[in-house]
Every structure is written in C-alpha cells, then in structure tokens.
Structure 1
C-alpha cells in the first residue's frame, strides 16, 4: 500500500516549520524530510529527516550539479522510497525558494513509484509578511534565498507561484519563539489578499484544522491546468476594503505597438496580474502575461485551439478544451483577451480605458513596421 506524501512549500521558513511541526504532531508515525539549499551553488545540500520528537538523520550531500531538479531526482525520491515502509505520512519540507510544481510532478507522476502517493501541496504563510512580500521586487539572489547558481527569479514572483499552485494555504496559529504571532489586523489583511490571489483555494487560518493529507492522491495534471495560461482558473472581479481585482475580457486583437507602450503602466498599477492575450500580427499564438511587483514576463505558450486542425483537438488536454469553449466565438474561436489585475485602489474604468485603447479598431489595418515583441518572443521560440 502506498504511503501518503504531502509537500509543504513557502518562502516564510518559520511559518513553514510551524506547519510541518503540526503535521508531525497530528499524524503518529509521520516523518519530515528537508533539504537545506543554502550551499547549493557549491553543489552541497544538507538533508534532515525528523519525526515529532527527534532528528533521526542530518547528512551533507554533495551533488554533481547544484540545482533543485538534481536534489529531487538524486536524493529526495530515494529517501522517500527508503522511508516509505516506515512512515504513516511523509512530509516534504521544501526549501524557502522552491516552487512546488516541479517537485509535485516528480513525486506524483502517474508513472512514478507506486509506493508513493502525493496527497497535497500546502503553502505556509506568515500573515504579517505575506502582504508585504507579494509587493517586493528583489531578486532571490539579493536576499540570499536563491535555489541554484544563476537563479534569476524574484521574491514576489516565487511567492505568487507558491500561493497559486497549492491545494491549500495555511497560516499557522503560532510562530516559533521568539517570533511574535500575527495580530488580528495582520490576519484579516492576509485572508483578504489570499481571497483575491487564490479565491478557489482553501485557506486554513489560526484555529482551523489542517487540510486532510492522508486521503486519495491528487492529479498533477489537474494541478498544472489550474496555473497553465491556456486553462488557468483566473480570479473574478472583486472589491474588498484593502484590495481590488479588475478583470478585462475582450474578443478583439491588440495592436502590438500600443500594447507594448502600455505594458509598464499596466504592470505598475497592480501588485499581481496574469492572463492570456493575442496580438493582431500574431493571430495564431496564445501569449501569456505574468506580472508581479512591477516585473513583467511575456511568453508564447503555443497555438490557440482555433489555429489547430480539428483532428489535433483530441490530443489537447480536456481542461484546455473546456477553457476554450467558454471563450469561443464564431469569428475568432478561442482567441481572447483575458487579463486579471489585483492590487490596492485599482480603478476599473481607468484600466479598461487603457487596455481598450490598445485594441485594434474594427477597420484598422495591422501596420507594424517593427514588431516590438519580436526580440522577446522570437528569441524564446528559437531557444
């Protein structure tokens, strides 16, 4: 019989440790495995295995290549299998800056070892730090939290991805001494922000029971579809005292020049924004928008469903086909502008006016002397 495995992610190490400790206390026979990546740029990680009472093992492991992928493949998976017959629950305590998706897809892959059963991905959060950290634009390398040599990710970017991928979010009731627990105002703001960023994800606040982690396995393909730009479950329009979420949804193409000129303004108006869009001069390509703390990423994620022959649709994941059906129009198929912006004091009318001004007028020709997106998108496609 397979042993349940739960991942616990989170940039806030003290909060993550509190959640792991509680899992170990509440599940007799549970073991936690943690890889300390502070020296990973030199190819060295420190593996710790512990239960609710004692540290069972602490070993320095030298890897040929210092990266998270190698750590998971060469050390984490063998250790999970080593302890699979000894534990009632295996808790993978991820290092601060590790995004859980790649680890989840390795542990929970349908062809992975049948002795392991991925049952959840929890992200632990410090209620006092989270609303501030989601606005921080520092590189991980600037604050000593990089997960590999040359890690070019940003703190807010990683935190957003940890929040949005999780099957549940946990704000621990108490923090380890001497750290103070969050006050009611911090907790309320944290709950409010999470309600905008991940409105469909369960949140366990102080006093709530932890999510169940010993039941059936989760499907990593379904988890991936929730954050894939082509099928992501994007938040709806919402207004709360401290935070607003604005949705822009249109079925006309964007003028590449005007939209490129508006990008910085659009990114800096919100704390977090994401979605999918299409440019008039690239009608067959589904482009993804991902911005946090003023840092924008644009990615070509492949063809729109309408650009594929119908014979190829059977090879497209069901979640993608369902998402396409919701946006389908006779004229454009599933081509759509669907951007969601979250932040304090957002003016929906201003944002809609900015973006509507970037749309191609009904009779306007696509006159692009020089495509401003070419260097970014064509370079990525070539790479």
Structure 2
C-alpha cells in the first residue's frame, strides 16, 4: 500500500491538492478528514472524484492527535484491506504531517510506503500567516481551544517535515473574487517559500510532480532543534537569509539585550546558542514572526561522555562541520530570514560579536553568570 499525507490550513488548497494526487496511481482513493466542534470528526471518501462514503464520528476526547489515532489511521487500514493501492489522506487543517506519518507507522498492521508528505498552501497568504499573532483556534483553523500554536508556527513546522508544497489559490481568493494566481503577491509568496523551505519542491498547477520522494530520516534531521539549513544565496530577491557564527560563549545579559534587535522584523530566526551561564547546554533558539523562544536540547557533544560522543559525531552532520579543535561543537550558529531591506548582515554580526565574552571574561568562572533561560521579559 502507498500513502500520501496532505496537511494544510486552507481546506480549498487541501482539496485541490488531494484531487491532483489521486491521479498519480491507477487505483487511488482520497480521504478528507475534518475535526468539527463537539469532538465530531467528519470523514469523506472519494474514488475517481466521486463521493462514495461520508461518515461522522464522535470522539471521547476530540483533539488533533486523537483524530489521527482513532480515525485517520483506522481508515487507512480499512481502505488498504479493501484493495486500494494508494490512499491520499487529507488531514484536518492544523494537523501536522509529521505527527500523522509517525502515527501511521506505529498504528498500521501492514507495511506501507509513504510516497509524499505534502503541504497545500496559497502563497499569497504566507507572509500574513507568519506574522499572525492569533492562535490556530482564535483564527478558526482548529476547534481546539487548547491549541495555542500560531499559523506561522504550524507552517514553519510543516516546511521542515514535508517534501513538497502544492500551490493553489485558497478560500481568500474565492471570497475576494481575486484569482491571485501569477499576481505580484503570488510571486513574492513563492519567493518567501523558497527561503523558508529550500528543500521542498514548490508545485503549481502546471508543474510536473514527482511522486515517491519522501525521506523520513532527512525530515527528522531537518527538524532537529538547533539545526540550520540555508537556501541558495540570492541577494537580489525580496527576501534573504543571513548566517552568523560566534566562536566564544555569549554573555547572558548582553544577549538578553540584543535578542529583541536580532528578532525584530525577521520572518524566521533559528539556530543554537552557547551561553556562558550554561556552558555545557546546547540551547536551541527559534523565532517565527512575533514569537521567539529558547529550549535546552541537552549537552554539547564535546561535553558528553567519550563513548557517547564518539558514537554521535559521525551521525551529527552539523557537529562534524562545525567541530573546533578547542571547543568541539560548542558555539553559536544563527540564521535569520526576512525582507532584504530589513536584514543587515553587518548589524547582525556586530550584535552577536558584542555578545561574546571578552578575553578577560573568558578567564572568569562560568558560575558567576545568571540563568540564560530566563529571557521571556526581553521578547
């Protein structure tokens, strides 16, 4: 059995993508799942573009993960048993493709080939989604009040997991009467997509689509906290990504002051930090539109036990590439993506270099510094 998973925030984009995907195999079936109010899941199944099953199920605990476990996975299992060669699963808006792929691998009783993990998107909306401060629930994308992700957080997460982004005018185009396709806003959105998901194939209605290119190991490597992957450098475009590295630990106080300036106006900030007050801790940083947060991802490989370190370095591409003869993999690596007029490489470099410990400060015991994770008031 072959599976294709489609995630989205826009049901019209999702349905356009699934309709196209059913044509990639001769014996395909398309399933559209929607999580409604009252823990109600609506499931529609199409074959050859014709609806042949429509069911609703009430879940005891109607969350996105339960929808996948209790409805998406069993439906895929049942349709495979019916003899379909290819099942296209259109996930409820806001359900992450990575979560669905993981649950399918755990929950299916028979082997399945994951052909593709796809995000369906109207690129005209991308910039607004990144900067939207509302949660997915507040924006009406999910029926779960507890879902406090923003649309930007959802999309950046999806860009890491998927191999393909299918582009189609969404509900906004239909409501406004503006076709959008090929407009200046469309072109700008596709350009931003290239900066945020450089690995993904961006497929328009007339573009060729290559089925069967999902690589789960590569998706996991891309989405590991603190990992930095860069797009091709293009200084002439509307958007750009700047990379900067700092070889010495950062002073926690000076970094706290600099972080709002680093994050201001950036669509996506990501990387890892070496902060003096937690010198053995690899701290991942991520900023998506108006939100910035830090998280501990364990110790640096250089501070791990020798046996573990020798076992990990070969599989950790970032550690190998950034290995320093004295500091090992310790160091700050930041990538910042935003509009070209808002991103000044010299300013970023000056800010980060000013955060590094001086030679005199390097001689001090790192225990004198304050807690680096208490940065919430600066964001």
Counterpart of 1:379 in structure 2 is none
Counterpart of 2:261 in structure 1 is 265
Structure 1 position 330 matched with structure 2 position 321: no
Counterpart of 1:192 in structure 2 is 191
The CA distance in 2 between the partners of 1:236 and 1:276, in whole Å, is 21
Aligned partner of 1:255 among 245, 251, 255: 251
State the 1:15 CA deviation. 1.5
- Kindly indicate whether the alpha-carbon contact (under 8 Å) linking 1:251 and 1:337 is maintained by their aligned counterparts in 2: yes
Report the 3-state secondary structure (helix = DSSP H, G, I; strand = E; otherwise coil) of the residue aligned with 2:249.
coil
Counterpart of 1:91 in structure 2 is 88
State the 1:318 CA deviation. 5.2
- Kindly indicate whether the alpha-carbon contact (under 8 Å) linking 1:127 and 1:182 is maintained by their aligned counterparts in 2: no
Could you say if the C-alpha distance between residues 272 and 69 of structure 1 is closer, same or farther in structure 2, counting changes exceeding 3 Å?
A: same
- Kindly indicate whether the alpha-carbon contact (under 8 Å) linking 1:256 and 1:371 is maintained by their aligned counterparts in 2: yes
Counterpart of 2:344 in structure 1 is 347
Counterpart of 2:204 in structure 1 is 205
Counterpart of 1:371 in structure 2 is 371
The CA distance in 2 between the partners of 1:199 and 1:291, in whole Å, is 18
Map of 1:103-118 to 2, 5 A cutoff? 103-108=100-105, 113-118=109-114
Counterpart of 1:133 in structure 2 is 129
State the 1:200 CA deviation. 2.3
Higher mean C-alpha deviation, range 181-190 or range 116-125: 181-190
Could you say if the C-alpha distance between residues 114 and 232 of structure 1 is closer, same or farther in structure 2, counting changes exceeding 3 Å?
A: farther
- Kindly indicate whether the alpha-carbon contact (under 8 Å) linking 2:263 and 2:292 is maintained by their aligned counterparts in 1: yes
Report the 3-state secondary structure (helix = DSSP H, G, I; strand = E; otherwise coil) of the residue aligned with 1:14.
helix
State the 1:187 CA deviation. 3.3
Counterpart of 1:289 in structure 2 is 285
Aligned partner of 1:229 among 225, 228, 244: 225
Aligned partner of 1:169 among 165, 169, 172: 165
The CA distance in 2 between the partners of 1:21 and 1:177, in whole Å, is 18
Could you say if the C-alpha distance between residues 318 and 150 of structure 1 is closer, same or farther in structure 2, counting changes exceeding 3 Å?
A: farther
State the 1:26 CA deviation. 4.5
State the 1:28 CA deviation. 3.0
- Kindly indicate whether the alpha-carbon contact (under 8 Å) linking 1:35 and 1:46 is maintained by their aligned counterparts in 2: yes
Could you say if the C-alpha distance between residues 252 and 221 of structure 1 is closer, same or farther in structure 2, counting changes exceeding 3 Å?
A: same
Could you say if the C-alpha distance between residues 231 and 292 of structure 1 is closer, same or farther in structure 2, counting changes exceeding 3 Å?
A: closer
- Kindly indicate whether the alpha-carbon contact (under 8 Å) linking 1:131 and 1:189 is maintained by their aligned counterparts in 2: no
State the 1:231 CA deviation. 4.2
Could you say if the C-alpha distance between residues 369 and 323 of structure 1 is closer, same or farther in structure 2, counting changes exceeding 3 Å?
A: closer
State the 1:137 CA deviation. 2.2
Query: Structure 1 unaligned runs (5+)?
Result: 377-383
State the 1:183 CA deviation. 2.5
Report the 3-state secondary structure (helix = DSSP H, G, I; strand = E; otherwise coil) of the residue aligned with 2:229.
coil
- Kindly indicate whether the alpha-carbon contact (under 8 Å) linking 1:237 and 1:247 is maintained by their aligned counterparts in 2: no
- Matched pairs, number: 367
> How big is each residue's C-alpha offset from its partner over 1:331-367, in whole Å with a ceiling of 9 and x where there is no partner?
1110121111111111111111122211111221347
Could you say if the C-alpha distance between residues 120 and 232 of structure 1 is closer, same or farther in structure 2, counting changes exceeding 3 Å?
A: farther
- Kindly indicate whether the alpha-carbon contact (under 8 Å) linking 2:2 and 2:113 is maintained by their aligned counterparts in 1: yes
The CA distance in 2 between the partners of 1:318 and 1:202, in whole Å, is 28
TM-score by length of 1: 0.87
Could you say if the C-alpha distance between residues 136 and 301 of structure 1 is closer, same or farther in structure 2, counting changes exceeding 3 Å?
A: same
> How big is each residue's C-alpha offset from its partner over 1:152-186, in whole Å with a ceiling of 9 and x where there is no partner?
11111111212232111121389896762423423
Counterpart of 2:26 in structure 1 is 28
State the 1:369 CA deviation. 5.7
- Kindly indicate whether the alpha-carbon contact (under 8 Å) linking 1:67 and 1:149 is maintained by their aligned counterparts in 2: no
> How big is each residue's C-alpha offset from its partner over 1:3-22, in whole Å with a ceiling of 9 and x where there is no partner?
11011112132222111111
The CA distance in 2 between the partners of 1:17 and 1:202, in whole Å, is 19
Q: CA RMSD in A?
A: 2.5
- Kindly indicate whether the alpha-carbon contact (under 8 Å) linking 2:160 and 2:223 is maintained by their aligned counterparts in 1: yes
Counterpart of 1:9 in structure 2 is 7
Counterpart of 2:41 in structure 1 is 45
The CA distance in 2 between the partners of 1:368 and 1:37, in whole Å, is 51
